[in-house]
């Protein structure tokens, strides 16, 4: 950027701050001073703040009211509907050169439930599913694969958001789809066996196979 051309107005300076919800409030106060300085000069400075939901709560602080008063345009990307999630997944797979039948309808619905319709989380989960399918040389991504991917890649559930949008029954249903036996045996690396029709694993406290998973609650 050439300061002389900027000062003449030939160029506008655009400062883009991504992940702005992670910024310290004091840094935003300094940002306000930068904006105020730009207003007092002929430097055409524009600032774009991009962040997740906590950014709105951060800007709601009284100490940042001067900065908020200088915001001229706001844009909020709301959570997607289940249909919109399905169509966006299909669109992205087509743009990547594949077809829109890679993800089965049930898989796309489950991805939506796990991500609570949040686009960034949808992208993360679908990417992880594609990687998991590629490793296994699979051409289709179904509901069980999505569930296994959530466990294997240790992708977090949006518990707070989901608890506000889904009933306890729905949340229990999602929890019961997590392959708890694989988490215990593969990730926690606990000795395990199937005894009397139950998946049992070695208790870290008593060192005996007295602990089993409940098939109804998916809990130990």
Tell me which H or E stretch contains 172: helix 168-176
* Alpha-carbon gap, residue 171 to 80, rounded angstroms: 19
pLDDT at 83: 94
Q: Which domains does the chain have, with CATH numbers?
A: 3-68 (no CATH), 82-178 (1.10.8.60), 180-220 (no CATH)
Average pLDDT, the chain: 78
pLDDT at 61: 85
Sign of the Cα torsion 26, 31, 33, 36 reads negative
| Residue 206, pLDDT above cutoff 90 | no
pLDDT at 183: 67
Q: Bigger pLDDT: 40 or 93?
A: 93
pLDDT at 152: 76
| Residue 142, pLDDT above cutoff 70 | yes
Q: Kindly report the pTM of this predicted structure.
A: 0.56
Mean pLDDT, to the nearest integer, of 17-38? 80
What are the start-end ranges of the H helices in 40-101? 54-59, 65-68, 82-95
Write out pLDDT tens, residues 80-122: 999 999 999 999 898 888 876 899 999 999 999 888 888 888 9
pLDDT at 130: 92
Give the chain's end-to-end CA distance (angstroms, integer): 61
Residue 35 and residue 45 in contact, taking contact as beta carbons nearer than 8 Å: yes
Token pair 């915001």 is found at 71
| CB-based burial label for 142 (10 Å; 0-12, 13-18, 19+) | middle
Q: Bigger pLDDT: 126 or 182?
A: 126
Find all residues with CB under 8 Å of 114, minimum gap 6, and list them: 121, 125, 146, 150, 155, 157, 158, 174
pLDDT at 38: 47
């Amino acid at each position: 950027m050439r300061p002389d051309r900027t000062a003449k107005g030939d160029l506008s300076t655009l400062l883009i701050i991504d992940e702005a919800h992670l910024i310290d409030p004091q840094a935003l106060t300094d940002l306000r001073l930068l904006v105020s300085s730009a207003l007092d000069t002929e430097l055409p400075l524009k600032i774009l703040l991009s962040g997740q939901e906590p950014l709105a709560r951060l800007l709601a602080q009284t100490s940042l009211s001067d900065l908020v008063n200088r915001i001229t345009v706001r844009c909020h990307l709301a959570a997607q509907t289940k249909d919109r999630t399905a169509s966006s997944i299909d669109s992205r797979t087509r743009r990547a050169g594949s077809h829109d039948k890679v993800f089965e309808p049930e898989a796309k619905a489950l991805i939506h439930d796990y991500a609570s319709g949040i686009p960034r989380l949808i992208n993360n989960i679908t990417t992880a599913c594609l990687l998991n399918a590629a490793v296994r040389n699979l051409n289709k991504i179904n509901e069980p694969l999505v569930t296994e991917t959530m466990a294997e890649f240790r992708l977090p559930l949006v518990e707070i958001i989901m608890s506000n949008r889904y009933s306890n029954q729905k949340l229990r249903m999602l929890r019961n789809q997590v392959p708890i036996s694989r988490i215990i045996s593969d990730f926690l690396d606990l000795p395990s066996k199937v005894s009397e029709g139950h998946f049992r694993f070695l208790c870290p406290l008593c060192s005996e196979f007295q602990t089993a998973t409940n098939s109804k609650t998916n809990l130990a």
